[in-house]
Chain A
C-alpha cells in the first residue's frame, strides 16, 4: 500500500515510474528507426521495483544492475539525455557510446556498471559491500538481477559470501516470469529452469533474511527495502528479495504491443479494443496504471495532478530524444581511449 509514503514521495515515485515508461517507449521508437545498436531489454512492467527500492537509498549506496538496467538508471536519478544517448551509441552518452544498452552506468550516482553476463554482477555487489564495510561507511550495496541469475553458480557463491560475513547487500531478484511458467524446467527464455519454485528458499537456507514481494505494490517494495537497508547498515546482514512481476507482453524483441501508455486508463478503466488480447495488462498488470489507481483511490492525487506529471515527464523525454538524436557519434580516435584510467 502506498499509504506508507507521504504525498510528495508518492508523486515523486509516480513521476519516476512514468519517466521509466516514457524512456522505454522512446527506446522502442528509436529501435523501430534502427537507431539502437544491439539487442536491448526494457523495464516495462517492473517500474515499481526499481523506483520503490531506489527511493529508500542514500547517495552513498551502491547500485548494480544487469542487461535490463534502463529502469534502474532512471530510478536512481540518471540524466535521461545521457542515458538515451548512450543507448544510441552517441558521444553524449554516459560512457561516450562505449557501453550501450547492456552496460548502462552512472558512476556519479554510485552506479558504476551493469554486467551483461547473467549473474556476473552478484559477486561484484558483495565486493562493493565489503568495501563499504572495511571503510566503515554506513551504506549498502543493492544488486538487481533477473530470476535467470539463480541458475548460475556465481549466484550461490555470492549469496554464501555475503551471508558468511553478514555484508550489507540487498539482493533484489526481479522474477518477471509469468505465474503459469513459474515451475521447474519451463525451459524458455522467460521460464526458469530451476528444480525449486520458491527462489527465496536458496538464500534462506544460507541464513539470509528473505521476502517475496508483489512487484505491483510500490508501498510493499518500499517498506521491504527500507527495512532491509536498516538491517544491513546495523550489521544484521544481507536480505534477498524475490520481487514478482508479470511479464510485459511486449516480449523479447520489444514492441509496443500494449500501445503507448495512456495514463487516463487509470481512471477511465477502459481497455482499448485493439488491445483486448492483453486486457489483463491494462486491468491489473501494468504497475504504472496500478500505482496511479491506488493514488486516486486513496485521494493522494487527482487525475489532473497525475496528468500534469505525465506531461512534464513526456516533455523531458522528448528533450532526451532530441538530445540523443542530435548528439554526434563518438570520434574515431576515442575508440582507443579509456582502456586505462586517465
Chain B
C-alpha cells in the first residue's frame, strides 16, 4: 500500500525529471500546492534555484514564454498557480501552443507543460475556483492530464515529457494531502489509459483527480451496504480512454460519473456520450452524472458544499441505480 501524499509525489517527480534532464525548467514560480504547502516545495526550489524563473504577475506573458522556450529546445513546466489564472493566458494555451505543430505541417514541436491547481478549493469563491479541464478538452492539439494517485504522478510526468506534446497538467487544490486508498497498478500508467482502481460488478463509477478520491471513498461506503462498485480513474482527459469505460459498463450495466466541471460539455457528459454511440445498448439504467450545477462558485461554505459532487451524492446515485 502506497502512503505517499499526492503533493509529495508530485514534488519528487518534478525533481527527478529535472535531475534527469537539464532542459527541464520551471517558469512561473508558483509552488505545487496551496500557500500552506510551500514548506514541501522549498527544498525542490532551493535545489533548482537557477532553473526556476520567478515571474511577474503576467500569466499571458510567461505562458507564452513557455511556448517559445519549448520551441527553442527546453522542456518548460509552466506553473500558473490557481487554475482560474489560466484564463489570463488562454490565448497562449488554447490558440498558440496547440496549433503550432499542425501549422508547421508537423515540423515544429512545442514540448511545454502548463500546470495549475484547479477546482473547488473551499472558499475560493467565483474567481478562484475554475475547473478549466473540460474547456481544455475542446482544444485540438493539447494533451490534458488529471491524475489522482501519488503512484501515477512520476510516470505520467515523464510520459508527458517524452510525448513532446503541449500538455496541460490538472492538479487539484485539495489533492495535495491525499494518499492512495488502493495499491498502485502493477504496470506503470500509459498516457491515454484509464485504470480500474477497484474492481466490482454492480456499478461503474468514473472519476479523475479529486473526484476519483471521492469515488473511491464512495466505493468503501457502498461496500458496507453490500454494493460492489467498480471505480475507474480516467487519469488523462485528452486522449480519453473510452474503451476501458465501455468494457466496464458492459459488465455492470450501470454508470455514475463524478466531475466538478459544470454539466454542459463536461468530462461527465463526454463519458456519458459514449453510451449514445460506441457503447450503445450497454446501460441497463440511465447514466448518473454528478457535476457542479451551472452556478458561479459561491463563497459561503454551506452553499459551496451543497453544490459539490460529494461522496454521499455518489453513494446515493449508485444506490439508486442498483436498487
Please list the residues of chain A having a beta carbon within 8 angstroms of any beta carbon in chain B: 37-39, 89-90, 96-103, 115-120, 148-149, 151-154, 187, 192-194, 329-330, 332, 334-336, 339
Given the known interface contacts A335-B295, A336-B293, A336-B295, the answer about A98 and B58 at a Cβ–Cβ threshold of 8 Å is: no
Q: Which of B123, B296, B306 has a CB less than 8 Å from the CB of A339?
A: B296
Q: With the chains together, A135 CA to B299 CA distance in Å? A: 34
Given the known interface contacts A116-B128, A193-B56, the answer about A97 and B295 at a Cβ–Cβ threshold of 8 Å is: no
Q: With the chains together, A332 CA to B304 CA distance in Å? A: 9
Please list the residues of chain B having a beta carbon within 8 angstroms of any beta carbon in chain A: 29, 35, 54-61, 84-85, 88, 122-128, 293-296, 298-304, 306-307
Given the known interface contacts A152-B88, A339-B295, the answer about A97 and B56 at a Cβ–Cβ threshold of 8 Å is: no
Q: Which has the most chain B C-beta neighbours within 10 Å: A39, A115, A117? A: A117
Q: With the chains together, A144 CA to B35 CA distance in Å? A: 25
Q: Are A97 and B298 in contact (CB under 8 A)?
A: yes
Given the known interface contacts A38-B299, A152-B58, the answer about A99 and B125 at a Cβ–Cβ threshold of 8 Å is: yes
Q: Which has the most chain A C-beta neighbours within 10 Å: B35, B58, B122, B293? A: B58
Given the known interface contacts A98-B298, A98-B299, the answer about A193 and B123 at a Cβ–Cβ threshold of 8 Å is: no
Given the known interface contacts A98-B298, A117-B84, A117-B88, the answer about A148 and B125 at a Cβ–Cβ threshold of 8 Å is: no
- With a cutoff of 8 Å between Cβ atoms, the chain A residues found around residue B128 in the complex are 102, 116
Q: Which residue of B lies closest to A330 (CB)?
A: B300
Q: Are A100 and B294 in contact (CB under 8 A)?
A: no
Q: Which of A38, A89, A99 has a CB less than 8 Å from the CB of B124?
A: A38
- With a cutoff of 8 Å between Cβ atoms, the chain A residues found around residue B84 in the complex are 117
Q: Which residue of B lies closest to A151 (CB)?
A: B56
Q: Which has the most chain B C-beta neighbours within 10 Å: A101, A102, A149, A187? A: A102
Q: With the chains together, A149 CA to B59 CA distance in Å? A: 12
13 residue pairs bridging A and B, Cβ less than 8 Å apart: A37-B299, A38-B299, A89-B302, A97-B298, A98-B303, A100-B300, A103-B127, A151-B58, A152-B57, A193-B55, A330-B303, A335-B304, A339-B295
Q: Are B303 and A335 in contact (CB under 8 A)?
A: yes
Q: With the chains together, A233 CA to B307 CA distance in Å? A: 46
Say how far A194's CB is from chain B's closest CB, in angstroms: 7
Q: Which of A97, A119, A152, A153 has a CB less than 8 Å from the CB of B299?
A: A97
Q: With the chains together, A102 CA to B304 CA distance in Å? A: 16
Q: Are A89 and B126 in contact (CB under 8 A)?
A: no
Q: Are A332 and B57 in contact (CB under 8 A)?
A: no
- With a cutoff of 8 Å between Cβ atoms, the chain A residues found around residue B298 in the complex are 97-98, 330, 335
Q: Are A330 and B302 in contact (CB under 8 A)?
A: yes
Say how far A186's CB is from chain B's closest CB, in angstroms: 10
Given the known interface contacts A38-B124, A335-B307, A339-B294, the answer about A153 and B61 at a Cβ–Cβ threshold of 8 Å is: yes
B interface SS class: loop
Q: Are A100 and B123 in contact (CB under 8 A)?
A: yes
Inter-chain pairs besides A153-B61, A194-B56, 18 sampled, C-beta below 8 Å: A37-B301, A89-B300, A89-B301, A98-B125, A100-B123, A100-B300, A103-B126, A116-B127, A152-B88, A154-B88, A329-B301, A330-B302, A332-B302, A335-B295, A335-B303, A335-B306, A339-B294, A339-B295
Q: Are B57 and A118 in contact (CB under 8 A)?
A: yes
- With a cutoff of 8 Å between Cβ atoms, the chain A residues found around residue B125 in the complex are 38, 98-100, 102-103, 116
A interface SS class: loop
- With a cutoff of 8 Å between Cβ atoms, the chain A residues found around residue B59 in the complex are 152
- With a cutoff of 8 Å between Cβ atoms, the chain A residues found around residue B60 in the complex are 152-153
Q: Are B303 and A334 in contact (CB under 8 A)?
A: yes
Q: Which residue of B lies closest to A154 (CB)?
A: B88
- With a cutoff of 8 Å between Cβ atoms, the chain A residues found around residue B54 in the complex are 187, 193
Q: Are B57 and A151 in contact (CB under 8 A)?
A: yes
Q: Which residue of B lies closest to A37 (CB)?
A: B123
Say how far B150's CB is from chain A's closest CB, in angstroms: 26
Q: With the chains together, A119 CA to B59 CA distance in Å? A: 11
Q: With the chains together, A31 CA to B208 CA distance in Å? A: 33
Say how far B127's CB is from chain A's closest CB, in angstroms: 4
Say how far B246's CB is from chain A's closest CB, in angstroms: 34
Q: Which has the most chain A C-beta neighbours within 10 Å: B57, B88, B124? A: B57
Q: Are A38 and B302 in contact (CB under 8 A)?
A: no
Q: With the chains together, A334 CA to B295 CA distance in Å? A: 11
Q: Which residue of A lies closest to B297 (CB)?
A: A98
Q: Are B300 and A329 in contact (CB under 8 A)?
A: yes
Given the known interface contacts A117-B84, A151-B57, A153-B61, the answer about A90 and B300 at a Cβ–Cβ threshold of 8 Å is: yes
Q: With the chains together, A335 CA to B302 CA distance in Å? A: 9
Q: With the chains together, A286 CA to B36 CA distance in Å? A: 29
Q: Are B123 and A117 in contact (CB under 8 A)?
A: no
Q: With the chains together, A140 CA to B126 CA distance in Å? A: 28
Q: Are B300 and A117 in contact (CB under 8 A)?
A: no
Q: With the chains together, A100 CA to B299 CA distance in Å? A: 6
Say how far A73's CB is from chain B's closest CB, in angstroms: 15
- With a cutoff of 8 Å between Cβ atoms, the chain B residues found around residue A102 in the complex are 125, 127-128, 299
Q: Which residue of B lies closest to A91 (CB)?
A: B300
Say how far A158's CB is from chain B's closest CB, in angstroms: 14
Q: Are A38 and B127 in contact (CB under 8 A)?
A: no
- With a cutoff of 8 Å between Cβ atoms, the chain A residues found around residue B88 in the complex are 117, 152, 154
- With a cutoff of 8 Å between Cβ atoms, the chain A residues found around residue B296 in the complex are 98, 339
Q: Which of B55, B61, B123 has a CB less than 8 Å from the CB of A38?
A: B123
What 10 pairs between A and B have smallest CB-CB spacing?
A: A100-B299, A89-B300, A38-B123, A97-B300, A193-B56, A151-B56, A37-B123, A335-B303, A116-B127, A151-B57
Q: Which of B57, B293, B294 has a CB less than 8 Å from the CB of A148?
A: B57
